[in-house]
Amino acid sequence: MKLNTNYLGFNLSSPIVPSASPLSENVDNIRAMEDYGAGAVVMYSLFEEQIEHESHELDHYLTAGTDSFSESLSFFPDMNTYVTGPDLYLEKIRRAREAVDIPVIASLNGASPGGWTNHARLMEEAGASAIELNLYYIPTDIDISGEQIEKRYLAVVKLVREAVGIPVAVKLSPYFSSTAHFANELCKVGASGLVLFNRFYQPDLDIYNLEVVPSLHLSSPAEIRLPLRWIAMLYNRIPADLALTSGVHSYQDVIKGLMAGASVVQMASELLKHGISRIQDILEATNTWLEEHEYDSVEQLQGSMSQMHVADPSAFERANYMRVLKSWQEDPMGTAL
C-alpha cells in the first residue's frame, strides 16, 4: 500500500517526518532517514540569537578595524562570504538538498520581530523546501499581556512569510488562552502548516547543591495526548496542514496522529534513542495495520477521529474532564484512563 500524504503542498511518500534534532546535523543521517522511508526531514534549528550575535560581533569587528586602519577593510573577507555559524547552517541545507530527494525543511527558531527573519530567504536560496518557524519563548514579564505576545508572534510569522516564496509552517507552544483562535490567526498571516506542539524543557532543582539544573528528558508515549487532542479539534477548522510532534514512538501513535487529523507525524526522541531505522519498522507496522483494517490510503484515515467526525465531539472538551475524574471512582486502578 502507498503511504502517501500531502504536507505543505508536497506529496510525501510517507507520513513520518524526523523532527528538528541533532540527528540532522549529519548528512549521512539525513540520507538514512530517506532510505528508511521518511517523507521529509526537518533540520535542527538555527536560532535568532545565533544570527543576531553573529551580526553584532561582525559589525563590531569591522567597525573597530576600519576606525584604526582605513585600508583595513581589504583584510576582511566579504560579509557575504564569511563562513559563520549561520553560514554553516546554509551549507548544511545545500549538502542535504544534494544528498536526498525528499523535502528538506529548514528550522528557524526565535520570537522577536527583527532582521534575523531575513535568514529565511537565505535558507530558501540554499535549497530549503519549506521553513519551520519555531516560536519558542517563555513570557515572564509581568507588564506584557498575552495579546501583546501574540501580536509579536504574528509579526514574526509575517516577516518570515514575506521573506520567502516557499511554505512556512509554525511550531508553537500549547500555552495560549485561546489556542484555536491563535492557530487561525497564524494562518491569516501566512502559515501553511502548524506543528503541534513544542515540548518545554523544565529545569529541575538540585536540593543538595542548591542549583537549578537544566535537564533534557526524551519524551514518553503519554505525551502524545496533548497534541493529539488539539489536532483533533483543529482538523478542517483552519486552513493549515497539521503536523504532530511529541510522544510519537510506535505505529499506533502514527495511526492515532493521522486519525486525529495530522498530515504527518514528527519523531525525535524515538529515533535518538533507538536509531533512524525505527522509521522503517514503524512504517511497515503502520502499513500492516492499515491493510488488516482495510484502509486503502492515509487520506482515508486522516481526520477520521477528529472532533468533527467522532460520534461524541464533547469527548475532546470540558465534558471529557468531568468523565475522566469520574472514571477514577468507577475504576480506581485508573486503567480506564
Ligand X SMILES: Cc1cc2nc3c(=O)[nH]c(=O)nc-3n(C[C@H](O)[C@H](O)[C@H](O)COP(=O)(O)O)c2cc1C
**Could you say whether residue 245 binds ligand X (CB under 6 A)?**
yes
Nearer to ligand X, 82 or 136 (CB): 136
What is the rounded CA–CA span in Å between residue 90 and residue 327?
52
Choose the binding region for ligand X from 18-26, 97-105, 228-236, 295-303 (rule: CB under 6 A).
18-26
> Which H or E element spans position 272?
helix 269-274
Query: Cα–Cα distance between 229 and 231 in angstroms, integer?
Result: 6
Least distance from ligand X to the Cβ atom of residue 229, Å: 15
Candidates 246, 263, 286, 307: give the one binding ligand X (CB under 6 A).
246
Near ligand X in 99-118, by CB under 6 A: 107, 109
Minimum distance of ligand X from residue 265's CB (angstroms): 9
C-alpha cell belonging to residue 287: 502499513
User: Does 171 participate in binding ligand X (rule CB under 6 A)?
Assistant: yes
Q: Per rule CB under 6 A, is residue 24 in the interface with ligand X? A: no
Q: Does 275 bind ligand X (CB under 6 A)?
A: no
Query: Is residue 269 at the binding interface for ligand X, with CB under 6 A as the rule?
Result: yes
The one segment of 33-41, 67-75, 244-252, 304-312 that binds ligand X by CB under 6 A: 244-252
Q: What distance in Å separates the CA atoms of residue 236 and residue 231, rounded to the nearest whole number? A: 10
Helices (H), 39-194: 48-68, 85-99, 119-126, 146-163, 179-188
**Which residue number, 58 or 285, has a Cβ lying nearer to ligand X?**
285
Per-residue x/- track, 296-325, ligand X (CB under 6 A): ------------------------------
List residues bridging with 46 in a β-sheet.
108
Residues in contact with 265: Cβ distance below 8 Å, sequence separation at least 6, in sequence order:
15, 16, 17, 243, 244, 245, 248, 253, 254, 257, 258
